[in-house]
Amino acid sequence: MDIPAQIQPLVKGHMEALGELTVEVAAEDLVAACQVLKAQHKFVRLSTVTAVDRFPAEPRFEVVYHLYSIEHNQRLRLKCHVGGEAPEVDSVTGVWQGANWYEREVFDLFGIRFRNHPNLTRIMMPEDWQGHPLRKDYPVNGFK
């Protein structure tokens, strides 16, 4: 699969491995790229939103979106880097409603905030929990 022409100007980097295309965009261009991909390339399904913590590196987090086009039977992996003390990225709930809980999960476990999210609260950990457990600088062990 080739990189769709309409998002070509937004692409910062790309990689193809095992027939799967990974496209990286800047965090500011994320929603624009998603809108184009959904409207013009029929990526109507957002399979998942997740994140990767590359702790000592900066920018620290990669937010990963897996898209699927039912019409063309194609998959696309979309990435953007965020970092800093309070990592923030635009929410894609305006494009896919289903992103709501995925983004809550990423916020809960990685502490990445999503701008314009309708209800950015914890979804897995207890409401009064402190910290974000899947960060690399979070203690691995529990308490005895």
Partner 1 sequence: MSYIQNQFERNIVTTSVDYVFNWARQSSLWPLTFGLACCAIEMIAASTSRFDIARFGAEVFRPSPRQSDLMIVAGTVTLKMAPVLKRIWDQMPEPKWCISMGACSSVGGPFNTYGVLQGVDKIVPVDVYVTGCPPRPENLFYALLKLQEKIDTTPNLVKRPTEVRLEESMLDQFKQQIRIAQIQNPV
Residues that bind partner 1 (CB under 8 A): 55-56, 124-126, 130-131, 133, 136-144
In whole angstroms, how close is the CB of 132 to partner 1 at the nearest point? 10
73 SS3 class:
coil
d(CA 52, CA 45): 21
User: Minimum CB separation from partner 1 for residue 135, in Å?
Assistant: 9
Q: Cα–Cα–Cα angle for 142, 106, 62, nearest 5°?
A: 105
Nearer to partner 1, 19 or 56 (CB): 56
Q: The tokens of 112 are what? A: 């990445």
Q: Which is nearer to partner 1, 5 or 125 (CB)?
A: 125
Residue number, 71 or 143, with CB nearest to partner 1: 143
When the beta carbons of 118 and 131 are compared against partner 1, the nearer one is: 131
Cα radius of gyration rounded to whole Å, the chain: 16
Longest CA–CA separation in the chain, Å = 55
Whole-number Å distance between alpha carbons of 58 and 55: 8
